[in-house]
């Protein structure tokens, strides 16, 4: 003990700190979530998420060039559609000529080194903003949603997606999608499940970006409760049994304990989604002069890594060289 043992000796120089510390995750571990809409030359800044935009495919390809060159591993595509095209079932989500379906082959051609992930959900395409069709009582019809999610996933896989990622939090969605992919002989398509996705207050900026807020009610009946850890972990266990290849925790910063426990109980890769509210929160803090953005982002990523994150889904991916590269 002190005075013979002095732990400050191990922190005395930058060289020692670098030698003894764990390096930050490399760019190949990152996935950049992007928002795709129809048209050409579309570049709509998202006010709640400074530095992020809703983009048409041609604009996205330009924005992807420096991101791909930085070594970032992949992109996660979220589609938007014209409000006039939204309906009760979100049928535009599986339109073969939809924005996501067009973006996938364009990205694969321009940047074959990028792994293309797609979000499989209906909320941005339904006229009521929920993640599945509603029954007569106005509640989300779980089993009817499964058929629609199958169609979305298959349309993405047929367009060339490397991995489909169902986020609707419907019971049985992983099994249903895996069966649909197998039936279409799309057995090589990976499935990343939003397996422990919480009903979080941190999604506000995303819902502005995706124009996907529910018209009535909320999503607490199908997204996991942050006060019920055991059930949230069961969601991941069930998704693994149903055929998921990758499990995800969402959000990340406030759920490091969940990431850690999931990492300890599965041999599957574990992803964490560093969500919009977490992104915007750090930007707002830096803009007010209450913290250095680079330092905060690096600390955030180190915390996610310590907890057990292997794949980082983060809007910071588009700024990897600026904020995370040593």
How many beta carbons lie within 10 A of that of residue 14, not counting itself?
Answer: 8
Question: Average pLDDT for residues 8-30, to the nearest whole number?
Answer: 94
Residues 225 and 234: their CA atoms lie apart, in Å, by 12
| pLDDT recorded at residue 140 | 85
Question: Average pLDDT for residues 16-41, to the nearest whole number?
Answer: 95
CB-CB contact of 161 with 114 (8 Å)? no
Counting Cβ atoms within 10 Å, is residue 169 exposed (0-12), middle (13-18) or buried (19+)? buried
| pLDDT recorded at residue 225 | 87
- Write the pLDDT tens digit of every residue in 77-121: 999 999 889 998 998 999 999 999 999 999 999 999 999 999 999
Pair of tokens at residue 60? 């996205």
CA quadruple 178, 80, 321, 41: dihedral sign:
positive
| pLDDT recorded at residue 210 | 77
C-alpha 102 chain-centroid distance: 20
- 250 is a catalytic site residue: yes
What distance, in Å, lies between the first and last C-alpha atoms of the chain?
Answer: 35
Within 13 Å of residue 23, how many CA atoms lie on the same side as its CB?
A: 8
Q: Residue 32 belongs to what H/E stretch?
A: strand 30-36
| 8 against 210, higher pLDDT | 8
Between the alpha carbon of residue 323 and those of residues 21, 44, 87, 199, the distances in Å are: 18, 24, 41, 29
- Choice among 29, 86, 151, 250 that is catalytic: 250
Radius of gyration of the chain (CA): 20
Domain extents in the chain: 25-323
CB-CB contact of 304 with 225 (8 Å)? no
Residues 69 and 52: their CA atoms lie apart, in Å, by 18
Q: What is the 3-state secondary structure (H, E, C) of 202-265?
A: HHHHHHHHHCCCCCCCCCCCCCECCCCHHHHHHHHHHHHHHCCCEEEEECCHHHHHHHHHHHHH
pLDDT confidence band for 215 (50 / 70 / 90): low
The yes-or-no verdict on residue 125 having pLDDT over 60 is yes
Q: Which residue matches tokens 């907890």?
A: 307
CATH number, domain 25-323, options 3.30.413.10, 3.40.50.2300, 3.20.20.70, 3.30.56.10: 3.20.20.70
- 102 is a catalytic site residue: no
- Choice among 108, 197, 216, 325 that is catalytic: 197
Q: Residue 308 belongs to what H/E stretch?
A: none
Least confident of 22-36, 210-224, 300-314: 210-224
- Write the pLDDT tens digit of every residue in 152-195: 999 999 999 999 999 988 999 999 999 999 999 999 999 999 98
Residues 279 and 3: their CA atoms lie apart, in Å, by 43
Question: Average pLDDT for residues 204-232, to the nearest whole number?
Answer: 79
pTM (two decimals): 0.95
Residues 204 and 201: their CA atoms lie apart, in Å, by 7
String of DSSP letters for 104-164: HHHHHHH-TTSEEEEEE-STTTBSS--SS-B-TTSSB-HHHHHHHHHHHHHHHHHHT-SEE
């Amino acid at each position: 003990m002190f005075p013979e043992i002095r732990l400050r000796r191990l922190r005395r120089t930058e060289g020692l700190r670098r030698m003894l510390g764990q390096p930050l995750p490399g760019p190949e571990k990152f996935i950049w979530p992007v928002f795709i809409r129809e048209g050409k030359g579309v570049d709509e800044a998202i006010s709640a998420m400074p530095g992020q935009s809703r983009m048409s495919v041609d604009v996205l390809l330009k924005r992807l060039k420096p991101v791909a060159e930085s070594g970032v591993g992949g992109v996660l595509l979220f589609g938007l559609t014209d409000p006039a095209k939204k309906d009760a079932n979100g049928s535009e989500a599986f339109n073969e000529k939809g924005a996501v379906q067009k973006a996938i082959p364009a990205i694969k051609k321009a940047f074959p080194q990028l792994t293309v992930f797609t979000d499989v959900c209906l909320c941005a395409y339904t006229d009521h903003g929920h993640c599945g069709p509603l029954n007569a009582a106005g509640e989300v019809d779980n089993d009817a949603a499964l058929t629609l999610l199958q169609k979305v996933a298959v349309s993405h896989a047929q367009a060339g997606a490397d991995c489909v990622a169902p986020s609707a939090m419907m019971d049985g969605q992983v099994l249903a999608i895996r069966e649909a992919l197998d039936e279409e002989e799309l057995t090589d398509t990976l499935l990343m499940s939003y397996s422990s996705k919480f009903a979080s207050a941190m999604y506000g900026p995303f819902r502005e970006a995706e124009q996907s807020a529910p018209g009535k009610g909320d999503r607490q009946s199908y997204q996991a409760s942050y006060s019920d850890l055991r059930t949230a972990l069961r969601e991941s266990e069930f998704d693994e049994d149903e055929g998921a290849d990758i499990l995800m925790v969402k959000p990340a910063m406030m759920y490091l304990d969940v990431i850690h426990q999931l990492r300890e109980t599965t041999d599957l890769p574990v992803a964490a989604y560093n969500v919009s509210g977490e992104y915007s929160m750090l930007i707002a803090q830096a803009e007010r002069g209450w913290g250095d953005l680079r330092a905060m982002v690096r600390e955030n990523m180190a915390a996610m890594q310590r907890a057990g994150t292997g794949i980082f889904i983060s809007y910071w991916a588009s700024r990897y060289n600026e904020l995370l590269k040593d």
